[in-house]
Amino acid sequence: LVGLERHGCGVQEWRRMRRDRERSRMGQRHSLKKPAMEDYQSCRERTEKTLCLLAEHWSKDEVGRSVNSLLKDPDGFSEEGFSWSSTVGLNFVLPKEAICCEPISGSQGRDGLLPSNAGGPQVATSPDLIVAPAPPCGFGVFATCKIPKGAILGEYSGEIRNYKIWCDEITGKKKTRRGSEAASPFIRDELYAAWGGSGPQDAGVVVDAFALGNAIRFVNCSCFPNCTFKNFGTGAQGHYRLKVQALREIEAWQQLSVDYGWYHDPPTLEEIRKESVTAYTADLELLQKLVLPKSSAQAASGSAARPAEVVAEALQEARGRPATRTAPPHFLHRFVDGEDVARFLETGKAFEKAESYLEIPAPVWQLYEVVGAERVGISCMCALDPSLNNSGRCAGIIGRPMQASHSGRED
């Protein structure tokens, strides 16, 4: 295994680690646990040995390759990461590249708001969690042993913000950075805010973990989440706290995941639909040139780039002569059915200008809805990471129900 020799893992050590891995699969906490007192170097060694097990488990996937790259990097960890983890109560050293906010041991108030002291002390982050590379999301939170259904795994901590003030600040940042107050595309600064209740005068409160946060900020979104945020501890100011709870049994080395729910936010949904029309309009000329391929026409063997090219490729594969692919299909390919497009053209219908998302033709609507979400900044590709979603199915938009049960046309 990559990195074993550098980490001082001899044959006996490796055998012990193999036993640890088997115990974790059986639901037992492995023996690479944190001593009562630990310095940076020993914590780093324990972290790297645990990551070796994670990399082996996902050795055939991008997660395993990314973790191995981290292990081979002599500067992949730092004392700053050790200090960060110590502050937030994370049991392992946070990778250097993941350090992107100030660590806090509990939420902090702003805008005249105070952290709620209802519900007891800060919920401790589970010692069975480790933060590791998780492409394409960046970093994620992984279980190091089997976690039972219903387990409480930590508290989402950040700055307690007045929603209106927070929104005004985000708008100001957009105007400063790109000269426009347009809502989309979203900026990274606004992607770590979780709703925290109505607050004083029903103005709204968010828990923002962009600048200040703990390990739970690294929990990624999935179309099939294994965890959820549970609100608790509503305080005198009318806002609550958020803890992470396992929805089902989580196997060792799986990522923790939740549903961010962006799709169900009315202003966000409005932006998605607006951008879907913009994307469809930009491709309209190419779509209008589509024709049914002859049976002898060679299907595309590469990977299309533009949405209209994805449609053309799907149409060729449905009615043209199959070809051996030289590259995997584009992720968007799963949101268009070439047979639906072919039947649309066979009936004499045409791709025409759309003033509303409702006027985008049905055979390409789901595709352009996902492209709209991509333009907003909340596309989802969780199915590309089996540690996050091993079903192979993905709605393409953060928080969206699967297309089989929800057309996206309803209000």
The predicted pLDDT at position 20 comes to 53
Q: How far apart are CA 142 and CA 91, in angstroms?
A: 12
Q: How far apart are CA 13 and CA 212, in angstroms?
A: 38
The predicted pLDDT at position 74 comes to 96
Q: How far apart are CA 48 and CA 3, in angstroms?
A: 9
Residue 112 tokens read as 């005249």
Give the chain's largest Cα–Cα span: 74
Three-state SS at 121: coil
Q: How far apart are CA 205 and CA 212, in angstroms?
A: 16
In DSSP terms, which residues pair with 379 in a beta bridge? 397
List of the chain residues with pLDDT < 50:
1-9, 11, 14, 24-28, 30-31, 297
Q: How far apart are CA 126 and CA 174, in angstroms?
A: 36
Three-state SS at 269: helix
Locate tokens 């060729």: which residue? Answer: 316
The predicted pLDDT at position 375 comes to 96
C-alpha atoms less than 13 angstroms from C-alpha of 347 in its C-beta half-sphere: 8
Q: How far apart are CA 192 and CA 194, in angstroms?
A: 7
The predicted pLDDT at position 4 comes to 37
Q: How far apart are CA 233 and CA 120, in angstroms?
A: 8
The predicted pLDDT at position 5 comes to 40
- Angle (CA) 191-194-198 rounded to 5° is 135
Report which of 51, 101, 13, 28 is spatially closest to residue 43, judged by C-alpha positions.
51
What is the per-residue pLDDT across 299-344, written as a single tens digit (0 to 9) for each?
555 556 689 999 999 998 888 876 666 777 889 999 999 999 999 9
Is the alpha carbon torsion for 79, 84, 89, 94 positive or negative?
negative
The predicted pLDDT at position 58 comes to 97
Three-state SS at 112: coil
Residue 388 tokens read as 């996050």
Single-letter amino acid code for the residue at 119? G
Residue 187 tokens read as 């900026």
Q: How far apart are CA 403 and CA 408, in angstroms?
A: 8
Locate tokens 């050790």: which residue? Answer: 82
Question: What φ, ψ does residue 347 adopt, rounded to 5°?
Answer: -85, 5
The edge-to-edge listing of strands for the beta sheet with 205-208 is 108-109, 159-162, 205-208, 193-195
The predicted pLDDT at position 14 comes to 47
Three-state SS at 369: helix
- Start-to-end CA distance of the chain, whole Å, equals 52
Q: Read off the pTM.
A: 0.88
Locate tokens 């394409």: which residue? Answer: 136
Computed on alpha carbons and rounded to an integer, the radius of gyration of the chain in Å comes to: 24
In contact, 190 and 361? CB cutoff 8 Å: no
